[in-house]
Structure 1
Amino acid sequence: MKAQEVSEARVLTVPLAPLTGRIVIITLVTVIALTVFHGIAGLLRHENLGLGYLPRSGLTLFWLLTLLNLFVHRFSPRWSLSPAELLALFACLLVTGSIPGQEFGIHFYLNLLAFLWHSRPGTPFAETILPHLDPKFLPGHRWNDPAIYLAYQGLPEGVAIPWRDWLLPLCLWTPYFLLLYGTLMLTAGLFVRRWEDEERLLYPLAKVPAAFADAQQSASLLRHPFFWFGFITPCTLWSFRGLHQYFPAFPDLNLQPTTGTLFPAGPATVFNNVPIEVRTDMIGSAYLLPLEVSLSGWLFYLLRRLQCMGRIYLGVTTGHAEFFTFQTMGAYAALALLLFWRNRKFLSQLVKSWGQSFPLSANPPLPPRWLLSGFLLGWVGLMVWCRFFGLAFLWGLVLLGSWFLGALVVARIICEAGLFIYGIPLSPPGTLNQVLFSAFGIDRIGVGNAVKMLAISWCQIRSSATNVLPNFFYAYKLGAIGGVNRTQLTGLLMAAVAVSFVTTHLTNLSVIYRFGVGKLSSWAQNAGFNSLNWLFTQVTMKPKMRSEHWRAFLLGGIVQWCLVWLRGQWLWFAISPLGWVMTQGWPMDRYWFSFFWGWLARALVTQFTGYSGWQAGRPFALGLIVGTFFILTLWGIVHLFYPAPPVLLE
């Protein structure tokens, strides 16, 4: 059967579609349902199905809705959802997917509780950390207050959740969370015309939901045998693991092997126990990416290993993690400077015109003046809140400003390279604070400011893997593809975020008190103590940037600049400069091998059959992605009713 082409162009060409009342209701109900699911699954089994820039459970639900929509469209077309409505719904799932899990819900409440529970009289935490947090931002004052004690011991029968103790802290913290999300949303709104219409970034991940949003294209894809072959493959592989959890006699496929011990000694030992995991979703994703991006994904990972090997050969046997951390920060700094340099005229025109005469896209997220004014007011609101929290203006600005620049770089990587999960080698809970504490010194920052800097990092700042700015860019791109009125979409996105945060408050606290911290997943059990212990280590050991850190920082920046220059000078330099920075974190440790297979498949198919052959393989790649997401989500739902270890621990 001849492959049916799935269009990557705009799905809808009619005038902008307004968002109807029914899709607003359906979207908010869906956001509530997935938020509850993600909160329970994340806390009890650390199944982060909403994590990333193409959330597994969100895409699965979206795909199932498109199947139902096809059925409705066949028998009652006027009741079926339009592509614009479907893509608006998925955009909201995209920006809210990680809130109840790894981005926020697994950490925020448990960190507040741990700061009191582990700060008992006589402990070093009680004297060093706790005095620097204003009690009104905490659900109690002492470790044995009911809100703290009951969370760790679990609720006795007949005892209610101490909502009253949480009311004031949540009312104080939630505006800060909404300001963070709102400011990022407006940032995406300011840059959409530049990235979509002028630079024409690829937005590779948008191709997946767009392929199913239009009824005709979706039906064509679903009739293709390659799609179902790709879909069944991961469903079969991961079902072995899922069934083995319940029936140990059932064979288990090891889809996450390592190279084992290849070299007994010497510098080459860096290639021992290298993960060679089979991630079918990433194989499919890499097949859809441009060859230069997928090549860079695995090539720079191996170069990182060779770099580590060279360090050992030269006698440097310790500090590899710190070296790569600061090397990545140097690459980030270079990318941020290049990003602002290339956009200097755009930014200058934006500021000078105050948005009045500034040309935006034909479908802007908001009127120009509203975007710019809202962005500036968002920053003012963030700084006012930080001062209210007790954080000095300077260090609040340093932390939030550094994070904002990093968020733009992350967004650029995701919108151009299309990784559906990404992280840099900064291990939570420290993340960006780890670099700032070393660069400026704890003595200069002050212990009180350091404590508060970590506390405000529990939403967004703590992890690049959950940065929501790329999701807002993709949400607006999906709006453009579907012909959604993006001004209305902006309001729906913010409403979905607010609903998700409120639902997370109710769901995650209910799970924590019902089960008790000791019965949560091992990750959740240790989240609060790890944050507290890391902070205590920082304020007592007072790390400082050494000369080797600065060398690593400069090396990362220089190499990144050279790669960008080479790519701009010679078109034959078919390596994406983003590979240098995107392979430095933990995700590529798990995904590099699958990146290689996706690249190899596309390279061979293109070489011997041309573009038409690659196009014929797209249904299979989409089947791999959707099938993997579907089966992992299905096992997550099964685990809600029949508890078992997660099929895949991310």
Structure 2
Amino acid sequence: MNMKKAKMLNPYLGVRAKRSDMAEEEATAKERMENMTVRSWLIGLMCVLLLGIGIPYCDLVMKGTWVGLTSFPIASFSLLFALTVFLNPLLRSFGKGLSQHELIAIFAMALVSAGIPSFGLTGLLIPYIAGPFYFASPENRFDELILPNLPRWLAPESKEAIKFLYEGLPQNAPIPLAQWIKPLLCWMALIAPVYLVFFCLATLMRKQWVENEKLVFPLVHLPAQMTAYANQRSILPSFFYNRVMWAFFIPPFLIHAFNGLHFYFPQVPYINVHRISLDIYFSSPPWNALQPFWVRIPFSIIGLSYLLPTELTFSLFFFYFFFLAQQLLAASFGIQMRNVQAYPVKSFVAHQMIGGILLFGIYMLWNAREHLKESLKIAFSRRNERSRGTVLEKGLSDKVKLTVNEPMPLSVAYSGLLVGMLTISLWGWLAGGGFIATFTLFLLYFIVHLVAVRLVCEGGMLYVQHPFRPWNIMLAAFGSQSFSPKQITILTLFDHLFMLDNRSPLMPCIMQSFKLGNMCNLNLRSLTPALIASVCVSVVSSLISYLWLMYRYGGMTLHPWFTTYYTRNLYCTWTAHLLSVGEAPSMSALLTMAVGALTMSLILLMHRSFMWFPLHPIGYLMGASWPMINFWFPIMVGWIIKTVVMRFFGAKLYRQLLPGFLGLIMAEFFSAGLWSVIDLICAKRGHEIFSF
């Protein structure tokens, strides 16, 4: 058989020989990758267990700083700081120190698990399960509007189990955990596929964002610097020897120290960097349309802003004022404006933002089409090589295409995405939400959430909280009368549990963990099981902790934001409104969304076509959302500082000051963690270092 005929029968013959140089180079890179170690597994899981038990206590009982919030949680940072500054120097003095990739692996496990005990899942799930039954009364009619539409397998069957959850158990009475096993297992059948989709989407978009587009990932720079050792003999990473870092670290640390002491000793002066309200200056019409309007000075946001491109930071506060100007103009003409549900954001502003978000989501996927098409070929090609996280594509094009260090096999990622969506939709159908309606709701949610992940990874947002959500889009398009009472009840429950408050998101933390793994040459295929195990441990431990605390203290005595507000004031009230009054389809809302989509398309076109165009699409996407209401001022300060440095002093000084601005971030997060520990020891309640 000649070679030509052999190649016709086997088109892959000779491909390896033609590409041997690249294959050998990648194989060498693969061999240099570091795998998860046993001790990083053990230490990481112990940290996750500590967070799963401790964060509910901090949120519910201490009622202080929410240490599990944001895509860079204070709790995760505090554990990394403690390991790096206290434990590891001791280990390194005996020659047994943790390496950078071990510290990063432990931090990644803490990162993905810290939000789950808070707003990420547990802090909302337990109250949403029991709250509608406990708060039902003849006055609010929850018992006739909502309860008949909730399947009984979603909540404990015992009325006493729900009553004692909010009022506390009688003395010496056992916690009725048996009543919770069935409903929690049913809920886990929904939570698991949602988290599966998160991991699959993060895997599929990782290469595009990390390697192709090379997004900045501002939030991971500090942990990367905190764990980088100059040599094997160093007791501490080089970052901690930098004088510029300490010069920037000291002022915010001292300010928070004074404020912390003020909480214990009121005679100590208080320096207000928390919130300076300007509403008093804008109290009369039409200026009151700007409310709420305040200045906050979180030093960590100034530090993060310094890491971002100036066009991006400028666009963030520019579009914030752009939307405020629209509100002021509308008020000047006497146009009545109402806020969207649960947020101090005008509805027509929120409609523009969601239109821009949907358009940007479509553009983002279109921009990644070549990567996704190629990964799809790799995933389901019959000829491939998989070894230790490496997939080698054969015969797909003349150019060598090699996917190195994927978190999971691409075939698993695509299959998991499909299985996850189908399972979610089936669960929604069984609960009464309808298969098509549930599928549509979560499809929109994952698109919007993927954009939010992009805003974290490129824009350095600590969190993203969009005021207009997929369920609002469906209501604006079809009206509540298009859905049955069961569908309204279940879909609104999905909306409030997964989509209302995204300050403790899982998927951005997964993506940042993958980025950190790349930065320290950690084998992502070995990291992913550790992340999945961390999520599972966090879910189980936080559910047990949450139930124990509510039965021990009584939910009505704990932080009302978790136990009362979201359930009674938001979910139940809004669901009852939809079931009794209803929401008609809104052509004006759809038109405003179209305006937002058109505006975003113009911004994208100009941004891609002209170097001089000063506006970045992320600014429009963040708009007048809750993060920008809080952080417009420090972002503007960061932009001014970086602009002055770059224009008058150049890149050299910019690089020299980088450790200092990382020091601002570290000082604020260290202060929050330190005072949380002090409050825990001293049994103090209600001490909020800074809020989100």
Q: Which amino acid aligns with 1:581?
A: L
Q: Which amino acid aligns with 1:298?
A: F
Which of residues 205, 218, 223 is equivalent to 1:204?
218
Q: Which amino acid aligns with 1:213?
A: T
1:249 deviates by 2.9
Q: Is this contact kept in 2: 1:201–1:416, CA < 8 A?
A: yes
Q: Describe the superposition over 1:95-132 as per-residue Cα deviations: whole angstroms up to 9, x where unpaired.
A: 11111112222211112111111235785111111111
Number of the residue aligned with 2:269: 251
Q: Is this contact kept in 1: 2:489–2:575, CA < 8 A?
A: yes
Which of residues 334, 346, 349 is equivalent to 1:324?
349
Match runs of 1:178-189 below 5 Å: 178-189=192-203
Q: Is structure 2 residue 552 aligned with structure 1 residue 495?
A: no
* 3-state SS of 1:334 partner: helix
Number of the residue aligned with 1:512: 550
Match runs of 1:63-82 below 5 Å: 63-68=81-86, 70-72=88-90, 74-77=92-95, 79-82=96-99
Q: Is this contact kept in 2: 1:262–1:272, CA < 8 A?
A: no
Q: Which amino acid aligns with 2:267?
A: A
Q: Which amino acid aligns with 2:404?
A: A
Q: Is structure 2 residue 51 aligned with structure 1 residue 26?
A: no
* 3-state SS of 1:215 partner: coil
Number of the residue aligned with 1:109: 126
Q: Is structure 2 residue 360 aligned with structure 1 residue 335?
A: yes
* 3-state SS of 2:509 partner: helix
Q: Describe the superposition over 1:429-480 as per-residue Cα deviations: whole angstroms up to 9, x where unpaired.
A: xx43233233222221211011111233454333333332222111111111
1:263 deviates by 4.8
Q: Is structure 2 residue 310 aligned with structure 1 residue 306?
A: no
1:14 deviates by 7.7
Q: Distance in 1 between matches of 2:497 and 2:531?
A: 18
Q: Is structure 2 residue 686 aligned with structure 1 residue 645?
A: yes
Q: Describe the superposition over 1:515-537 as per-residue Cα deviations: whole angstroms up to 9, x where unpaired.
A: 11121113123222122112111
Q: Is structure 2 residue 295 aligned with structure 1 residue 276?
A: yes
Number of the residue aligned with 1:368: 410
The 10-residue stretch of structure 1 (84-93 or 244-253) with the greater mean CA deviation from structure 2: 244-253
Q: Distance in 2 between matches of 1:458 and 1:272?
A: 25
Number of the residue aligned with 1:7: none
Q: Which amino acid aligns with 2:49?
A: I
Number of the residue aligned with 1:4: none
Number of the residue aligned with 1:526: 565
Q: Is this contact kept in 1: 2:64–2:686, CA < 8 A?
A: no
Q: Describe the superposition over 1:570-608 as per-residue Cα deviations: whole angstroms up to 9, x where unpaired.
A: 011132111001133111111110111111111111122
Which of residues 44, 48, 52 is equivalent to 1:35?
52
Q: Describe the superposition over 1:153-210 as per-residue Cα deviations: whole angstroms up to 9, x where unpaired.
A: 1122211111111111111112321221122111111111122222222222221111
Number of the residue aligned with 2:24: none
Identity %: 25
Change (3 A) 1:540 1:273: closer
Q: Is structure 2 residue 600 aligned with structure 1 residue 581?
A: no
Q: Distance in 1 between matches of 2:544 and 2:502?
A: 26
Q: Distance in 2 between matches of 1:273 and 1:410?
A: 23
Q: Which amino acid aligns with 1:300?
A: F
Q: Distance in 2 between matches of 1:484 and 1:286?
A: 28
Change (3 A) 1:328 1:338: same
Q: Which amino acid aligns with 1:347?
A: L
Q: Describe the superposition over 1:613-641 as per-residue Cα deviations: whole angstroms up to 9, x where unpaired.
A: 01111121111111101111222223334
Q: Distance in 2 between matches of 1:46 and 1:456?
A: 28
Number of the residue aligned with 2:441: 399
Which of residues 673, 678, 688 is equivalent to 1:633?
673
Q: Distance in 2 between matches of 1:186 and 1:361?
A: 16
Number of the residue aligned with 1:378: 420
Q: Describe the superposition over 1:207-258 as per-residue Cα deviations: whole angstroms up to 9, x where unpaired.
A: 1111112222963221122222322222222233322223333322221102
1:71 deviates by 1.3
Q: Is this contact kept in 1: 2:425–2:436, CA < 8 A?
A: no
1:504 deviates by 0.9
Change (3 A) 1:264 1:47: closer
* 3-state SS of 1:148 partner: helix
Change (3 A) 1:13 1:257: farther
Q: Is this contact kept in 2: 1:192–1:476, CA < 8 A?
A: yes
Q: Describe the superposition over 1:32-90 as per-residue Cα deviations: whole angstroms up to 9, x where unpaired.
A: 1122221111123163211111111211221221223551364223x111111111111
Which of residues 134, 159, 176 is equivalent to 2:151?
134
Q: Describe the superposition over 1:490-518 as per-residue Cα deviations: whole angstroms up to 9, x where unpaired.
A: 11111100000001111111111111112
Q: Distance in 2 between matches of 1:618 and 1:369?
A: 40
Q: Distance in 1 between matches of 2:378 and 2:244?
A: 52
Q: Which amino acid aligns with 1:492?
A: A
Number of the residue aligned with 1:8: none
Q: Is this contact kept in 2: 1:87–1:479, CA < 8 A?
A: yes
The 10-residue stretch of structure 1 (93-102 or 222-231) with the greater mean CA deviation from structure 2: 222-231
TM-score by length of 2: 0.87
Change (3 A) 1:121 1:303: closer
Q: Distance in 2 between matches of 1:264 and 1:535?
A: 33
Q: Is this contact kept in 1: 2:226–2:240, CA < 8 A?
A: no
Q: Distance in 2 between matches of 1:231 and 1:36?
A: 30
Q: Distance in 1 between matches of 2:147 and 2:301?
A: 43
Q: Is structure 2 residue 209 aligned with structure 1 residue 195?
A: yes
Q: Distance in 2 between matches of 1:261 and 1:339?
A: 41
Q: Distance in 2 between matches of 1:239 and 1:563?
A: 43
* 3-state SS of 1:361 partner: strand
Q: Unmatched 5+ residue regions in structure 2?
A: 1-28, 340-345, 385-392, 394-400
Q: Distance in 2 between matches of 1:328 and 1:46?
A: 32
The 10-residue stretch of structure 1 (344-353 or 254-263) with the greater mean CA deviation from structure 2: 344-353
The 10-residue stretch of structure 1 (375-384 or 258-267) with the greater mean CA deviation from structure 2: 258-267
Match runs of 1:77-156 below 5 Å: 77=95, 79-120=96-137, 124-140=141-157, 145-156=159-170
Q: Which amino acid aligns with 2:687?
A: P
Which of residues 543, 558, 566 is equivalent to 2:598?
558
Q: Which amino acid aligns with 2:153?
A: K
Q: Distance in 2 between matches of 1:191 and 1:81?
A: 30
Number of the residue aligned with 1:421: 463
Q: Distance in 2 between matches of 1:97 and 1:307?
A: 38
Q: Distance in 2 between matches of 1:154 and 1:574?
A: 57
Q: Describe the superposition over 1:279-313 as per-residue Cα deviations: whole angstroms up to 9, x where unpaired.
A: 11101111111111221222211222112112223
The 10-residue stretch of structure 1 (368-377 or 291-300) with the greater mean CA deviation from structure 2: 368-377
Q: Is structure 2 residue 631 aligned with structure 1 residue 591?
A: yes
Which of residues 157, 160, 167 is equivalent to 2:181?
167
Q: Which amino acid aligns with 2:367?
A: R
Q: Is this contact kept in 2: 1:60–1:626, CA < 8 A?
A: no
The 10-residue stretch of structure 1 (338-347 or 104-113) with the greater mean CA deviation from structure 2: 338-347
Q: Distance in 2 between matches of 1:327 and 1:360?
A: 40
Q: Distance in 2 between matches of 1:440 and 1:194?
A: 35
* Greater Rg by CA: 2
Q: Which amino acid aligns with 1:296?
A: S
Q: Which amino acid aligns with 1:390?
A: G
Q: Is this contact kept in 2: 1:39–1:504, CA < 8 A?
A: yes
The 10-residue stretch of structure 1 (473-482 or 66-75) with the greater mean CA deviation from structure 2: 66-75
The 10-residue stretch of structure 1 (495-504 or 519-528) with the greater mean CA deviation from structure 2: 519-528
Q: Distance in 1 between matches of 2:353 and 2:247?
A: 39
Q: Distance in 2 between matches of 1:606 and 1:228?
A: 22
* 3-state SS of 1:506 partner: helix
